[in-house]
Chain A
């Protein structure tokens, strides 16, 4: 069974440029999460989807971050414009339901110059 797929694995951009990350969850998983992980820290939730609905986006900086999960499967996380402080690893996870075990992708490492 394929795990959570994320792309790209690495991205280097200049500040003020836009960037997008893509996530394909495990088939049949209704819940999808985006986490942000700064160096030396544990991941922190940015947004959680139940099917196509964003049910917890309280930690998403909405002035520059946006996310979508059309058709309740794949998801895209976008940053526009990127800032130096956005350099981090962006992790996508999915689970069958909210309180079930979460499966994480390998993450996208973003470097903003």
Chain B
């Protein structure tokens, strides 16, 4: 599995934007970049995913570098409810073994009031 590298922790203030980085220098051409997050005492939840182009949904935006070796999850206005561990995961739908999610340790985001 292609690996991802994320900072262990980040802090933000409420109502400010948050940029969560992820490095994936060994990404293959067919790997999709997925983000999940895990709120305290809950199971992970899907946030967003993309392949090459930047993506937006109601939860966040995903900015993907032109060489695809890094990406950034953007929360436009952090709320206290966004405090969670954020996981960046690579999945290749054309490769056996990618049916499962391979989680790293993720980035623990703290949001200050």
What is the interface of chain A, defined by CB distance below 8 A to chain B? 4, 31, 33, 35, 40-45, 48, 55-56, 91, 93, 98-99, 101-107
Contact = CB atoms under 8 A, between A and B. Distances in A.
Interface in B62-79: none
B29 interface: no
Size category of the B interface is: 10 to 19
B45 interface: yes
B59 to A, nearest CB: 12
B113 to A, nearest CB: 25
Consensus secondary structure, chain B interface:
loop
Given A42-B87, A42-B104, A42-B106, A106 B42 contact: yes
B103 A104 contact: no
Interface of B: 41-46, 85, 87, 91, 93, 98-106
B46 A43 contact: no
A101 B46 contact: yes
Given A40-B105, A99-B93, A104 B43 contact: yes
A43 to B, nearest CB: 5
Contacts of A101: 46
A93 B103 CA distance: 14
Given A42-B87, A42-B105, A105-B43, A56 B100 contact: yes
A99 B99 contact: yes
Contacts of B99: 31, 48, 55-56, 98-99
B34 to A, nearest CB: 9
- A-B residue pairs, 8 tightest by C-beta: A42-B103, A104-B43, A98-B99, A45-B100, A99-B93, A101-B46, A91-B43, A104-B44
